[in-house]
Amino acid sequence: METKEVLAITRELKRPFDVAKVKSKPKGNMQLHHINARDVMFKLDAVIGPLNWQDSYEEVLGRVICTLKIRIGDEWISKSDGAGDTKIEGEKGGISDAFKRAGVKWGIGRYLYYLNGAKELPSWADPASGKWTDELADRI
C-alpha cells in the first residue's frame, strides 16, 4: 500500500468521535474524557473494514494485553497495550480498556489525551465544527 494511502487511513482513524460518543468522568478538579470500546470497533469497521482488523488477548503479570492487528495491503501490523481489572466491571472492564488502549496506539481516540482534563471539549475536538485538520491529525 502506498504511503499516501497509509497516511489517509491513519488520519481517518485519528479523526475525533461525534461529541455524543465522548463520555466524561470527574477526577479531582478535572474531567477525563473517554470512549466506549464498541465505538473503537465501529471506527475500525468504517475506516478499514471488518475483515481488515483483529484483536487477541493474553494475560501478563496479572494484566490483560490486547494486540490489535490491522491489515494494510497484504501485511498485518500489530500494536499492543494492556490494562488491569477495573473497579466497575473487573475482568471485562480490563479487556475493554486494553482494547481501547491498543486502539490509541493506532491513533483512535488519542486526541482525548490532549484535552488536559478540560471540563468541556474544545471546538477542534468536535468534528461538526470543521476545525479538525490533517495537520492536527499529523501532530497527535
In a domain, 71, yes or no: yes
> Which of helix, strand or coil describes residue 82?
strand
pLDDT digits (tens, 9 = 90+) for 46-87: 999 999 999 999 988 888 899 999 999 899 999 999 887 655
Average confidence (pLDDT) over 94-100: 91
In terms of C-beta distances under 8 Å and separation of at least 24 residues, what long-range contacts does 89-95 make, across chains too? Answer: 91/64, 94/63, 94/64, 95/57, 95/64, 95/66
The grid cell for 51 is 475483515
Classify residue 24: in a domain, yes or no.
yes
The verdict on residue 44 lying in a domain is: yes
**CATH number of the domain within which 54 lies:** 3.30.390.80
With a cut of 50, say whether residue 90 has pLDDT above it.
no
Whole-angstrom distance, CA of residue 52 vs CA of residue 76: 9
**Total domains in the fold of the chain:** 1
Q: Which domain holds residue 61?
A: 3-125
